Structure 1
């Protein structure tokens, strides 16, 4: 759509340009329409050019590298040359301003030196003859001849003194301003004219003589300042009214801006306002700008403020110095002590520029040669990847060089050889991951499902694996309406082996506990029949054996010891809760002792039991009994809860019980979530070090 529109716009533009040749109003109308068509054509061509450049032209790596080399090679050169030219222009302008200002300061220094001699001469004359009203000053006559307009004003104790010759007297100066002090020398503005002025005072016998020398800044003086620089213009009268002052001027600052060529009338803006043409006409211009010596001998124009003070008030007056010079003049002024050195430096700089240009050309040619080598290797790799993608794992790249690109081609060949093997390993890995997912699902079914509780006891358990499957284990077994079996264990190791042993332990615990329940039920039924009373008593006695956690731990220890590898073992806590008696019978086989948080916030450690299960044969275990009161909370946990570490140490039992104590009146699920949140904060960004299992039970 875009290319069609661009095509018809091109035809329209050509037709309109032809019709624009018709004379009269019709031709002007068609010329205006052709401009509109050209603008629209450019708008439609931009996306086409963009699409062509990035879609086709730069699709090949060769073209991209060429563009990259051009940008990397030419852009720094262009930027460096541009920066150097800008810096050179600024330096030249600043040097020209410095030279002009130095000339002004030299004139002031010479004027001040002569003025000091005048005041010494007059002071001694008045000391010899205090009542003189006119004094001859022959040295001033020569100064008037050398500097047209030169004037002197002399004062004895503030009263004017007439000097001879008469031409040297400054008749308009009848008093010394209060703000002027001895030793003053500067450019001043007096009655709308600029002067170089110096003031000196000398006190002899209690009488003070003051002499003021003035030299007007006329064209002759400015021409002498501009000698060897070009053209110098001193522009007075650029003050603005206070209400017209921009904010920087009101803060006592002056902002001078150079306008681009063609902008404004005079190319300079002071404090945000352009100099008025009337002010420019008052400029004092001296010197001339000579013709250029070579093509790069461009004019250098710079403005700078000139320190000027109002003679009546002493306030600073805005006067600016405008210097137009050429690099050749500034170069000769810089090397005015040795022209041979100047010529040598210039020729050396030209030679260095030529050498740099040749080096840049050689670098570009070398880059193009390297470009062909890189693109050829990329071409081979591209076709190789297409072959591999199509299933041709036998494709090989011919390697003829000995560099990193050749090593890359060899790596591609090695990749093609090992790719099929890696794909086979990937399929095997996916199969194992599927099996792990199935194992995780099967293990999840081993934990208690749904809400399990007794009327007199709240229960909650959670297990968070460190890996896909867990080696921790907990279980709740209900016996009637008031009996409950509690189990919590931790298998040595992690991963699949621990999960398989956990499943074995889970099945064994349930088998023993359910076997005891069946024996108790059968024994109770047999006791109801007189002929089977003895058999019922035996079954009841055997069933009660399986309700004792210590004896079940002994059976499990023998079972695991004889059915697992020697290094495999488990820690296990078993408890039997009797809801009618509010009693918990328990035994701990190497497991961290559960903690019983009493209603009065005291803690009881349930540590009766023995060693780990499955490591040593024929081990007996002790069991303990604890009575539960309303509000008591049983806390059973694996080492994954208390042993996580950070820079402050282990999480520990104290922090665990503190969290539970703070939230003890909340539901058990909420307490468990608070513990998990505290653990996550304690571990931070580290990987979970071990399986985390927590079982809570609260007496109602």
Structure 2
């Protein structure tokens, strides 16, 4: 005689069907969605790492060559190593840096020369692909698949992907992992970079863990649901039918297909109706969560790009600050020291909000920093505009005002690219006036050369230049009242006699913030103060 199995273990019982069906559906749903989401996130992070590696190599390769010729070639390894280590602190995507001559002789390897200079036999890179990459004209990227891609720029700055013989090849995809980067410099040297994907791997592993925990919780919830509500009599089934309508806005996503021609089938129909409501609800929740994460990422991008400290510049007292809005905007500012006679700074505002604006801010920061060697503010913005026009969408552009200060001549040069008109405070006699308007926002047209004008501003002790974004005069107290320029200029006149630029900055940001009486603002408030000492 065969032992009788418990009823909940029989597949023709309602309880076993619910348990098996819901478990399978939840596992499949979470599995498919997890793979899709993680793959999408991996591609996004991979693309970010690629652009970070590329930007880092473009910016640092000339510096590393300069460090070598200035220090290492003169047997000053300590100073050379200090500069190299400082570069590592600026990125987490590079784990090793090397330097080789055009002939293939290795001059430096950060993995072997962490604390002391290599003094063994001459290290030589043998003939082959690596030697070809060192002696190539363009930077090359070795991918995990074994493919080597060269980045060839044309006369307009557009980058195309080619092989060693300059034949067009498939571009580097977000899913491709870069094994090494070689950046030839002239026909003398090549800088070698070893990328790191540790951050990417850590984030993906964390996402997998969260997905697994959510899947386990969902499956357990489904099992409890099935066991609790299943039964063998029609009374509980009718109650479950009524309860399913109430739970239509819950956290479960499932479908059942039951053809029993009794009360159970009626329950299945009700459950499927509930599932349709749940699906719409989950889509709305997913969209809201995605939007929230996007704004969080944009805020993080904006925060990381702002300077960590204000530089000390002879003849000028500087201060700058930003009050982020409820919706993350695209405000930016920075200070750049080229050498002891050339200091730069700027304030800008990108159209739009969220991650797109944050990415344009990143590009603009990198471009201006890479072109300051031109020393001419007009040329810096003209060159940056060419790249921004090619690399950004037609509805994305940036207004910006750039200044150049030479301590030797005490001359301040301003160039405005469609940004808010700067204010000048004169200490004697006391007055506040608007400076020159003009220029066109970066990224709108390919060539802004005819529209760019510079303005030389003479400053006496106590005079101030105030740069700001439109978030300050456009501060709202309610749906009808706006702060406005007259009120802002009044506060500038009232505050610029304070003893330091930092105190002036605090006062100029505090006044519109207090005036708004806590009303939610839609744009960032950014300000930069230059006070003549």
Q: TM-score, normalised by structure 2?
A: 0.47
Q: TM-score, normalised by structure 1?
A: 0.36
Which structure has the higher relative contact order (CA within 8 Å, separation 6+)? 2
Q: From the CA coordinates, give the structure whose radius of gyration is larger.
A: 1
Higher helix share: 1
